[in-house]
Structure 1
Amino acid sequence: MKRQNKLLTLRSLTRTVAVIVLIFTLISLSACGNSDAPGTDAAKDKTLVIAVPDSINLLEAGQEGSVIQYYIQQIVNEGLVAIGEDGKIHPALAESWEDENSTVWTFKLRKDAKFSDGSPVTIDDIIYSIERSADPEQSPSIAYFYPEGFTTEKVDESTLKITLPHAQSNFIWSISNNGGLFVTKKEWAEQAEAIGSAKDLLLGSGPYKVAEFSPGSHVTLEATDTWWGGTPEVKKVRIDFISDNQTRLLAFKQGDVDFAFDIPISQVGDYQSVSGAKVQTYKDRSYVGLTFDLTVKPFDNEHVRKAVAYAIDSQGIIDSIKDGYPEKATAFTAPEQFATVLSADDAREKLKALTHYDYNMEKAKEEFALSGAAPFSTTIYYPDSNQDLGKASLVIADSLKEIGITVDVQEIPVEQWLNEMGSGTKGIDWMDYRPPTLDPAEIAIWFLDTTGQGTNPANWTDQSVQPYLQAVYEKSSEEGLDDLLKGIDIAQEQAIYAPIWWGEAAVAYNSSIEVDNFTSYTFLSQNWPKNFRFAK
């Protein structure tokens, strides 16, 4: 498979699962009360403690592509460029750059960049990191950012040239640490056994370094004095992985957590009831929907896919399990993702005009009859990192029963869910994607790549979409907008993907900190801890 999903935001109500959840809850509660708990260190050392609803066992985004891994690597490993607080591209390890017809890209590298161990960042380190990032074996989650056949050239010690096999106007996102580049030290990486593990942490040139990592529990980051941008004011950041919503809420109420990320909308009132707490909701640019694997029968049958799409009551799911907050999706890219070329309202209207299948049980039955398929059974798996997807799966299962499809709903570990995505083993699979870049075409360049099996999560091979995707590569975001929308429309007309909702998220923080202008890309911006200040 060419890449895996970037985002872990998804989670058999069997006795076994209940026991696992209970054990995890007890462990988490115990951790909140021991001597190493975030609250004790925070009071003593002014540690900024952030609780996230996901759990990771590896820090490197190139392996799994978790959004949490991206948040960590944003401030540890730099790319040639980075996203600023304004959501635009800014210099990082490259001080400046230029391109010839979006094909030949030349970067002038900064000479004052150092790794956190004090050694200088060399052009050889950067070339090594690019080649490693483009290798599907070493970096399965980000290799797709690099077109096959690209080359790198060391012009001199501070000039790097990258030549692409074809024009790619959005390539600048690829070599950012929001996309597909996390520069590390070549000598260190070649000796490491497992980069991003508890043994071989991360080595980068960013404003922070990893001080300690306990897989599945937390990671601690410390400010460096080697970053070219200066030493950060927030000296220590601890990110706690607390998947259980009630446990995370309890940690916040007890003061063990300063900032709670991605809190359930249904718990907003609980967080607001905490003295001094502030809660903020925002459009997070995420997409949630179903993907059909065309290598798994009978989902190679377009009428079966359309029958399933018609049978999904998206608004009913949103109202029943999400308290009506997320917006019903009409495409696999959220309106806010088009911010660099369109207002959200204008984008919403264009996306609404694309082919999509609103809930209609009669049409679902008609499409299933047209398919010629006999009633069958299938399984919808959801990752243990998001119980909402489990609840949505049960609602969908009830609907599909009406058209002759029996669905078994099963929870699996998030790592297994990622590894099996597009593997030809699951006819229906969840997709929960929060783009780390603001490139309008970010999701599309994966979803619409039909050049071979495994190049997209549906194993879709219809070549008719390729001219539109090629145009997206060759044109600017503004000029290629119509091509992008046409490509999305082709995929959705064939019901390759079934959009369900565009995400809305909430964060909460207590009176111990102040937060500046939090947005959907705050945690994706260069030196994002500077948006946090300890209250006086």
Structure 2
Amino acid sequence: MRARLATAMGGAMALVVALSACSKNTGDNSDSVDTNKPRSGAIATDPKDSLGPAAEVPGAAKGGTFYILRENKISHLDPQRVYSFAGLMGSQLYARFLTTFKDDGKGNVTLVGDLAETPGKNVNNDCKVWEFKIKQGVKFEDGRPITSKEIAYGIARSFDPDLTGGPTYLQEWLADSPQYDTKWNFKANKTSLPPGLSTPDAQTLRFEFNKPRCDLPFAVSLPATAPLPPDKDTGVNLDNQPFSSGPYKFTKHTPGVEMVLERNENWDPTTDPVRHAYPDKFVWTLGADNATQTNRVLAGTGNDAAAVATGGVPSELIAKVTGDAKLKERMIVAATPNAYRLSINTTRVTDLSVRQAINYAIDRSSITKNLGGPYGAVPLTTLLPPTTLGYKQFDAYPAGESGNPDKAKELLAGKSVNLVLGTSDDTPSQETATQVKNALEKAGFTVTIKPIPEDGYLDFVKKKSNPWDIWVDSWAADWPSGASILPVLFDGRNIKAEGNSNTSQLNNQAINAEFDRVLAEDPAKQAEEWSALDEKLMKESAPAVPLYNEVVSVAHGEKAGGLFIGSIFGWPSFVNAYVKQ
């Protein structure tokens, strides 16, 4: 979910695009949440922007232990397998990547070099060949220097079919195929590299693609580019004890219970433009549910005074927190990139006028109120979330937040339409499904709810042959560009038997051609193009109903400083965290 900001050969052009999004530290006494805070994004053109040390955080002090409360264990800690929001933000403590985002916590982000000296060189100015120069002085936790060789090995091991869970952009782009593990066998080629990836020398990493890959500087900001020496590769067991290249290293890990990270003395802050190492330790404490976490940090007894409740403030506690000025000062509220939509299976609901009627009928207000109002969700009428660079607000089916059943009935023109609504069997999903059903039935639809086991929900709805007409979906892109949203969700050429991101199963040749056209354009022009294509999709195909943009509300103890909600992944960032003395 990143704008296609590209560096040109011999000098980069910074794109700065304004957008609107929800982001606010609610330290004031207002009952509202700011949903129109301007944001901007750019790519660093001056190598100095990629140097360290990171600017000091006002009031920050070194020392102490910072506590992170979470209910469940993180699915993966191995950088090549990390893909959850918690994993992506937590990995910044112990892993470094080719590039990363400077994020001021106020919505302004700049892509900079992390292990690399810059965000990359577009060698021939065609996005097919990229080079990254690796910084001098970057080291692993044992003091060994990090070179292009270890970064390349980290990328190569992501081809291992045993190491599932992480993003697959680099693998698919290098292999020029979604079946990347059949194009290059990591297990049989551990001493070599995938085709297209090379290390001309210890300080140079080179990518060569068959097609333009203008998003590469952003894709390599994901943890898949974390370095690893081959002799430290423990395969699937790396999840239990990652090998650090960041400011902290693992000193204790009891899976599902506790993780302890202490300072990595071989991390050099002069090479790092983003991270600090203020606390002596970070301790992840696992097991408490959201309500328990929130109540603990608000009470602030003992260690909980220096803790953050990452599960978020549950809706039943919002009034308690917002009604007390001192407690409200310790709640951070911000939009995430996570956009929810009601997917419509276009191979089953083939009549465009019916899909348009569904859009008019939906009552967004009942859904968002049940999710905590502006502290949990804000209504959305676009496929792109407001955190997308170049975002433009529009409403293809203006019906107000509570829907327009009369307009929906007009479009149905007396047709009797039965819809099967698939929903996860957990309580919140069931409640949302009931609200969707009620709104549609007011407009004349007949709706049958079919529960799906929560632990298999995503697998079921991503099957091409699933038997549902509509269901609630969500998508949180990996960088804030329409390029990492619209083609992923609606390019019909990517439909397969299982594992579809295009759950609407839209396969419109004209739309597919538009994706190709925009992706081939000068990256500086693409942000505006994606917003226009968003509107075209909604008006001409109506493959889904945008529902809401998820908002996260996180509480912390009075001694927990430097926290903000990351602009890219919408989860607490710890790069500036410190313990107030």
TM range, smaller chain: 0.7 to 0.9
* Residue 469 to residue 122, structure 1, CA distance change in 2 (3 Å): same
Q: Give the equivalent residue in structure 1 for 2:114.
A: 92
Length-normalised TM-score, structure 1: 0.75
* Residue 426 to residue 73, structure 1, CA distance change in 2 (3 Å): farther
| Alignment partner of 2:556 out of 473, 484, 509 | 509
Displacement after TM superposition at 1:144 (Å):
3.5
Q: Distance in 2 between matches of 1:119 and 1:334?
A: 42
Q: Distance in 2 between matches of 1:306 and 1:330?
A: 13
| Cα deviation code 1:17-50 (max 9, x no counterpart) | xxxxxxxxxxxxxxxxxxxxxxxxxxxx932112
| Alignment partner of 1:78 out of 92, 96, 109 | 96
Q: Give the equivalent residue in structure 2 for 1:28.
A: none
Kindly indicate whether the alpha-carbon contact (under 8 Å) linking 2:492 and 2:502 is maintained by their aligned counterparts in 1: no
| Cα deviation code 1:414-434 (max 9, x no counterpart) | xx3444452334634433344
Displacement after TM superposition at 1:305 (Å):
4.0
Sequence identity percentage: 19
Q: Give the equivalent residue in structure 2 for 1:288.
A: 340
Q: Distance in 2 between matches of 1:492 and 1:61?
A: 37
Q: Give the equivalent residue in structure 2 for 1:103.
A: 128
Q: Distance in 1 between matches of 2:416 and 2:282?
A: 57
Q: Distance in 2 between matches of 1:241 and 1:433?
A: 26
| Cα deviation code 1:268-324 (max 9, x no counterpart) | 343364967622322333312223455xx6346655544443332112322344235
1:466 aligns with 2:512: yes
Displacement after TM superposition at 1:70 (Å):
0.8
Displacement after TM superposition at 1:201 (Å):
3.0
Kindly indicate whether the alpha-carbon contact (under 8 Å) linking 2:69 and 2:288 is maintained by their aligned counterparts in 1: no
Q: Give the equivalent residue in structure 2 for 1:121.
A: 146
Q: Distance in 1 between matches of 2:251 and 2:395?
A: 49
Q: Distance in 1 between matches of 2:374 and 2:482?
A: 26
Q: Give the equivalent residue in structure 1 for 2:486.
A: 444
Q: Secondary structure at the match of 1:396?
A: helix
Q: Secondary structure at the match of 2:333?
A: strand
| Cα deviation code 1:322-350 (max 9, x no counterpart) | 23553211112222322xxx5xxxx3xx3
Q: Give the equivalent residue in structure 1 for 2:216.
A: 171
Give the letter for the 1:361 counterpart. Answer: P
Q: Give the equivalent residue in structure 2 for 1:131.
A: 156
Q: Secondary structure at the match of 1:290?
A: strand
Q: Give the equivalent residue in structure 2 for 1:17.
A: none
* Residue 406 to residue 293, structure 1, CA distance change in 2 (3 Å): same
Q: Give the equivalent residue in structure 1 for 2:364.
A: 314
Displacement after TM superposition at 1:173 (Å):
0.4
* Residue 168 to residue 235, structure 1, CA distance change in 2 (3 Å): same
Kindly indicate whether the alpha-carbon contact (under 8 Å) linking 2:291 and 2:313 is maintained by their aligned counterparts in 1: no
1:483 aligns with 2:529: yes
| Alignment partner of 1:380 out of 415, 418, 423 | 423
Q: Secondary structure at the match of 2:373?
A: coil
Q: How does 1:211-290 map to 2 (within 5 A)?
A: 211-229=251-269, 232-241=277-286, 244-255=289-300, 257=304, 258-261=307-310, 262-264=312-314, 267-271=317-321, 273=324, 278-290=330-342
Q: Give the equivalent residue in structure 1 for 2:236.
A: 193
Displacement after TM superposition at 1:93 (Å):
1.5
Kindly indicate whether the alpha-carbon contact (under 8 Å) linking 1:448 and 1:469 is maintained by their aligned counterparts in 2: no
Q: Distance in 2 between matches of 1:83 and 1:524?
A: 13
Kindly indicate whether the alpha-carbon contact (under 8 Å) linking 2:291 and 2:317 is maintained by their aligned counterparts in 1: no
Q: Give the equivalent residue in structure 2 for 1:65.
A: 83
Q: Distance in 2 between matches of 1:449 and 1:134?
A: 24
Q: Distance in 2 between matches of 1:141 and 1:463?
A: 30
Give the letter for the 1:473 counterpart. Answer: L
| Cα deviation code 1:60-107 (max 9, x no counterpart) | 476572111111222222221111134211111211331032221111
Q: Give the equivalent residue in structure 2 for 1:337.
A: 388
Kindly indicate whether the alpha-carbon contact (under 8 Å) linking 1:286 and 1:433 is maintained by their aligned counterparts in 2: yes
Give the letter for the 1:184 counterpart. Answer: L
Kindly indicate whether the alpha-carbon contact (under 8 Å) linking 1:132 and 1:139 is maintained by their aligned counterparts in 2: no
Q: Secondary structure at the match of 2:243?
A: coil
Q: Secondary structure at the match of 1:485?
A: helix
Displacement after TM superposition at 1:110 (Å):
2.0
Q: Distance in 2 between matches of 1:328 and 1:79?
A: 35
Question: Where do 5+ consecutive residues of structure 1 fail to align?
Answer: 1-44
Kindly indicate whether the alpha-carbon contact (under 8 Å) linking 2:163 and 2:235 is maintained by their aligned counterparts in 1: no
* Residue 298 to residue 53, structure 1, CA distance change in 2 (3 Å): farther
Displacement after TM superposition at 1:121 (Å):
2.7
Q: Give the equivalent residue in structure 2 for 1:23.
A: none
| Alignment partner of 1:498 out of 545, 564, 567 | 545
Q: Distance in 2 between matches of 1:288 and 1:529?
A: 26
Displacement after TM superposition at 1:232 (Å):
1.6
Kindly indicate whether the alpha-carbon contact (under 8 Å) linking 2:334 and 2:570 is maintained by their aligned counterparts in 1: no
Q: Secondary structure at the match of 1:267?
A: helix
Kindly indicate whether the alpha-carbon contact (under 8 Å) linking 1:280 and 1:507 is maintained by their aligned counterparts in 2: yes
Q: Distance in 2 between matches of 1:448 and 1:85?
A: 30
* Residue 226 to residue 528, structure 1, CA distance change in 2 (3 Å): farther
Question: Where do 5+ consecutive residues of structure 2 fail to align?
Answer: 1-62, 177-194, 271-275
Q: Distance in 2 between matches of 1:431 and 1:238?
A: 33
Displacement after TM superposition at 1:211 (Å):
3.5
Kindly indicate whether the alpha-carbon contact (under 8 Å) linking 1:63 and 1:139 is maintained by their aligned counterparts in 2: yes
Q: Distance in 1 between matches of 2:487 and 2:158?
A: 17
Kindly indicate whether the alpha-carbon contact (under 8 Å) linking 1:152 and 1:160 is maintained by their aligned counterparts in 2: yes
Displacement after TM superposition at 1:479 (Å):
0.6
* Residue 138 to residue 57, structure 1, CA distance change in 2 (3 Å): closer
Q: Distance in 2 between matches of 1:54 and 1:299?
A: 38
Q: Distance in 2 between matches of 1:240 and 1:426?
A: 41
Q: Distance in 2 between matches of 1:210 and 1:429?
A: 41
Give the letter for the 1:533 counterpart. Answer: Y
Give the letter for the 1:506 counterpart. Answer: S
| Cα deviation code 1:139-185 (max 9, x no counterpart) | 4541135525272122222111112222232221001127x534333
Give the letter for the 2:65 counterpart. Answer: T
Length-normalised TM-score, structure 2: 0.70
For structure 1, which segment, 107-116 or 261-270, has the greater mean C-alpha deviation from structure 2 after superposition? 261-270
Q: Secondary structure at the match of 1:166?
A: coil
Q: Distance in 1 between matches of 2:487 and 2:393?
A: 17
Paired residues, number: 468
* Residue 461 to residue 208, structure 1, CA distance change in 2 (3 Å): farther
* Residue 408 to residue 284, structure 1, CA distance change in 2 (3 Å): same
* Residue 369 to residue 211, structure 1, CA distance change in 2 (3 Å): farther
Displacement after TM superposition at 1:225 (Å):
1.4
Q: Distance in 2 between matches of 1:181 and 1:252?
A: 35
| Cα deviation code 1:126-147 (max 9, x no counterpart) | 2232234467774454113552
Kindly indicate whether the alpha-carbon contact (under 8 Å) linking 2:338 and 2:476 is maintained by their aligned counterparts in 1: yes
Q: Distance in 2 between matches of 1:195 and 1:522?
A: 26
Q: Distance in 2 between matches of 1:118 and 1:204?
A: 10
1:423 aligns with 2:463: yes
